[in-house]
Structure 1
């Protein structure tokens, strides 16, 4: 629901026209009365009344708030009144005879000009600031009696039973618009120099002031409207014997209908005088409608947009992401840059959650990334992808936001089961047809993409304050690491499983525990996902890539070691040991590959194991370590670089 209605006042009698300005409501009656109410005071007690002597119905009211005037058409004559007390104001509108429609120029200069249309001509009047009155300007002859007129800059758009024409307000040069009308013509000027007109039986078509069509979906009404108003991003139409239809400007779809079968009048003020849409929260951005009651009185309703966040969430729930985004941007346009950025990040988080609940996982990835959401929020639902030490409880994807089904703890299988059971009506049919297993596979692939994006972003934007002593060392080996080999060898202990861990790495884990925990969670999950989806080349890249600040993978050692062993990924196991500074363990793995004990690829394991050992030894400065493993490697497989 985009709009909601609230009763402003009850009026004793039939209302033919209603307008709203500066918290005031002005009604025009069937018996020629103008009655003004101030909604800030007693809404049922008028603050101004003016009775026209002919006692004929009020046909039209124009509001020109900048000069505090209202212009009234009744009995085919025009009068001007003060906007605050309805007192008559002198003007030259008495020169206009048999007027059927009024239009005010929406964009000068000069501003506030008024067109009084009659059967054979358009008479133009201009406000003279010095005299504070409207004076006759000129008239333009027309071929067909107009039923509606709009005026923007130097062009009038005139609608008649025979069609629409654009008329130059100085030369009267006319450009016919090729549209099949077949209905009561209707014109509404819109932002961005667009116009919507009624065509054929009940179709709203968008045009430019050149007469060219706009590349926008047309509006389909149930029957031709008698009034159209704008409140961004919606068109609100008054449909006789029905009420109000609300259409999206984004795609022309019907958003909402409000039943008011005895509606008699409608007014909207969703644009400023310069034709720009009003920002969210503007008190002037309201639709006012009048509807007869069973007793013959008239109820005046104010129809306003729902709170912006509620509208946004409803649009998201219906999958209308782009429309929700436009609405959100409108609502925050008046905020400073920092607040806009913060609100948009929160909005992107809303979008991500909505898309996850709709099982549109690939689309959700972009918004998870843009929202800055901690990757562990989603990752925590995949216990098979995290290390035993992983301990993260979601603070965003909580049970009240994302259903967990039968599981008390985060579990994606349980979430999918709950979504397929309770939310199937909001899912695309093809997604429901995929079933649980395929959706799980799709979601794991999307999670992989998400983690890759986040890892790339973290590597690029990591603060320079974390360089130097706090950076995880690159692949090159320092003498201090290899000293562990000498100590183990001289004491007679085994050097095959010596826990060689750099002091710098230890410093990182204590100084930036949250960053390291997040990095370990991401990298450990990436390793498992690459194995799950058989992206073997990506595993080596993950374990060997070092960014410009010396950062590499932070895969959990214990669980990753067991997983690589289980899948016979021995070369990658060696790289994992290297990444953790376990040089001796890495050399041992490569030696076992060279001897044929570890077989990963029968066609090349002995060669690749020996070559990997050589590549590693070339980075080691401890000569005794190099000599020992050079001899060991050469026993199983001769490699040129050993010499």
Structure 2
């Protein structure tokens, strides 16, 4: 309104009788540009309060610069190009470029003459980030010119011929929509092709061509219809039914603004209905309840009322404006106004009689009949009523936890619970009851029981610190059925794992472990670091739950890095017990457990070898016994067991590699020689001995192997091993020589660098020493090797 009043003042400054001095407007951000009838461009700047608030009453107008273009002729069009800070002006049939802020001409851009209309493409829609496109209509020829506009240049890149002169045009990307004297056309800038849309009566109606963006245009069509036309030439929206005297139109998505004599109408693009009308006679808005006008009047009376009284009155009127939007389904505006006006949430809650749980609230607003309207709406239009329910949830969530909502937090949370049950929104219901809340148990418990939301009821008890009453324990017993949650058991475990009340944990842990040991043990393994229970107490509890005991011992050793010998002994023995209880050794669980046991025996340094060995000595767990013998230093005995007891030659060979994993190749050779001797001591293992030699020719020392081989073996039998071993020895010698050569080269390189750094000269020829080879005379002076014969001279 301040902007309009400022424009109105400009009208009267030129001539009290000439009310049409403003010919065109252009806006960008907080800048407004006015083109007048007397060839003047005026710059106005919107300023805000020190807090940056641009709301009604706090925005002010500051006059910027003005520029007089000439002595006559009107400024016809203004277009801002913020990418280059250009303001393009159509005056006297010429397009001129001015600086947006100083209004000084841009020297590099010479005016474009003989222009009747022009339009600028939105720079965000062009493929070039450093320029924009401009379309001009020639006043001399029936042609459109496509210009590329840069910061210091503009040039014509294309011409589009027409059959008639355009009277209005708009551009969106590569599509141009224009009106001639009797019809509307669509033109493709790139191809130059034109498509006729429909005729119009220029003598009886104003021609309107406006771009809506996304390749859509708004046209003033026949029969006084606002037609939405896509760039493909089709309509995807129903037309607007507007009056005959529409003078112009603009878009502010999702609304269309149409200008009529002394009226401004606002239409919705979604349902094509008129939503608001503003009178331009005296600039007074016409709204339901006239609350916006009341706010403006209140702003004017601010200085005449006490501050507290003014603020209270402002809040009251703001809330009334919110109710006006509320009953017109303007829910977003209503929510913002209710929050701004600090409306007591109970004033909204009480409008929903079937949702409201609070009865001891005295309203300060006369909205009783409106509440009854919602009751009727619930019966007559269920879909519309659900939109009002969605608004209630949106508003209450917005104020929950704020100062506005904390004044009645019990009513807010209880109403949200009732609302989520009504709308069958189980996810939001669970989020509400699972976190700290102020729901009234007296009101909410019966609701949850009636709707059979027993899991949510248990969570509600839990969030209020009443774990012993948590109903989800009875759900796991099958006492209650609740299909809303499929993981009640997991929830109980997660809850107990975070609970610091040890008595409650001990009370429920036994029951939970009886249901599922693998999940139940997480009560102890998922606890926070500062909430751990005493390990001996947990181990005592888990003695009757062998699977849970294994998981807990694994947690102690692998996660907490326990070095307690009893923990490692106990885990190994638990693995052994679990394996021996399974008769089928091919069972996948047995294989997994056996792998864990072997890994523990290989890697752990803290178990007692003799204790574990005694537990499996009489069993068939030969690989495990071999590992224990190896850990005790009895490698030969371990290999004997793998070869003769387990009869697994691959395991024996793998043992030789694993047993010396961190000790180097020398120890591996010793173990492989021991394994070779075991093979050679049995006639049945001759083939295994040959395979062992052939598989590791690079490891065995040739001379040691030859001492062990029986005299009866032929050279052909071990030829593959001999060839491989000789090749390996030869390779190693060659590699040694190569390394020595590289070392000598590196030493020589360092000598060269040393000589170069000292900038030494030959004592004979006085030239620089630039080669790695040099000599010294008896006095220690350096010289080229080629100068040695001249040094005696």
TM-score range, shorter chain: 0.3 to 0.5
TM-score, normalised by the number of residues in structure 1: 0.47
Please tell me whether Structure 1 or Structure 2 has the larger radius of gyration of its CA atoms.
2
TM-score, normalised by the number of residues in structure 2: 0.39
Structure with more relative contact order (C-alpha pairs < 8 Å, separation 6 or more): 1
Higher strand proportion, which one? 1
Higher helix proportion, which one? 2
